[in-house]
Amino acid sequence: MNRFKITELGKDVFWLRDAEREHLVRVLRLSPGDLVVGYDNTGKEYTSVIVKIEDKSVTCRILSTDQPDVEAHTSVFMVAGLSKGEKMDWVIQKGTELGMAGLIPLRAKRSIVHIEGKKARDRVVRWQKISSEASKQSHRVQEPEISEVCDWKDLKALLPEDTQWLIPYEEEKSQRLSTVLGMMNGKHPIAVIIGPEGGFEETEVAWARENLGAQSVSLGPRILRTETAALAALTMVLGYFGDLG
């Protein structure tokens, strides 16, 4: 059954407008009587029947409401040093499927990509769309939010105060991710900070340790590309807390 993000939720009905309406009408060519699933990012999903298709909206009558146990119980956020377009797209698409809670794009010192102002905002809109599509594909009921592109100093305010920060770092040789996970609490959010293509500078890791209480960790002896490191770390954290596999 096709899945849609609800634009407006009523008592026994919801409406789809704009891009969701377009997708239903023009791409999927659905008609009144067809069944669809709607979700409203609260964790619920609504099995529904299309009752009316109009110029500006599609009306769906809700047949049943579920709260599927599909979301990770431990909130794992990704903070990703800006890397070239395709890598970021991949991390967002795959990270959404795997179960990340949200992603914050970070201007890191070695980020080759420099985006500011409108260009940065447009990029975030595109990333949010990728995340939204991956949410539907993986049957999630809460889409990860892609934050505005930010700087190191903005990070702390973007996540809850009890967030536990991890920073995989090539030069960290003694502290392994698996060891550190054993000392963490899956009831508090976890944020994983991943460097851009060239990795982090030492001063950035030191800043994260001092200002975020971040723990630097090793992902093992093989050198991983930034997108591989991001997805491997996310998989390991979610897996450790029983939220994957």
Residues of the shown chain interacting with its own copies in the complex, contacts defined by CB under 8 A: 68-70, 94, 97-99, 137-140, 176-178, 217-225, 227-228, 231-233, 235-236, 239, 242-245
CB-count burial class (<10 Å; 0-12, 13-18, 19+) for 197: middle
Q: Which amino acid is at 102?
A: G
- For 26-171, where are the alpha helices, taking DSSP H only? 85-98, 117-137, 155-158
Nearer to its own copies, 178 or 185 (CB): 178
Is the distance from CB of 226 to CB of 197 less than 8 angstroms?
Answer: yes
Of residues 59 and 215, the one with the C-beta less far from its own copies: 215
When the beta carbons of 61 and 84 are compared against its own copies, the nearer one is 84
Residue carrying the six token digits 């619920």:
44
Nearer to its own copies, 44 or 94 (CB): 94
Burial (Cβ within 10 Å: 0-12, 13-18, ≥19) of residue 108 = buried
CB closer to its own copies, 16 vs 233: 233
Residue 229 φ then ψ, to 5°: -60, -45
Q: Is 168 left (phi over 0), alpha (psi -120 to 50) or beta?
A: beta
- In the complex, minimum distance from the CB of residue 130 to its own copies, in angstroms, rounded to a whole number: 13
- Smallest gap from residue 194 Cβ to its own copies (A): 13
The least CB distance from residue 100 to its own copies, in Å, is 11
Rounded to the nearest whole angstrom, what is the least distance from the CB of residue 91 to its own copies in the complex?
Answer: 11
How near is the Cβ of 87 to its own copies at its closest, in Å?
11
Could you tell me the two tokens for 149? 């592109």
What is the C-alpha to C-alpha distance for residues 5 and 38, in angstroms, rounded to an integer?
A: 6
Alpha carbons 165 and 192: distance in angstroms, whole number: 6
Give the shortest CB-189-to-its own copies separation in angstroms.
19
Least distance CB 8 / its own copies (angstroms): 26
Please report where in the chains the tokens 């789809």 appear, as a residue: 16
Angle subtended at Cα 196 by Cα 219 and Cα 155, rounded to the nearest 5 degrees: 90
- Specify the residue, 213 or 220, whose C-beta has the smaller distance to its own copies: 220
Q: Which is nearer to its own copies, 36 or 233 (CB)?
A: 233
Cβ pair 193, 214 in contact under 8 A: yes
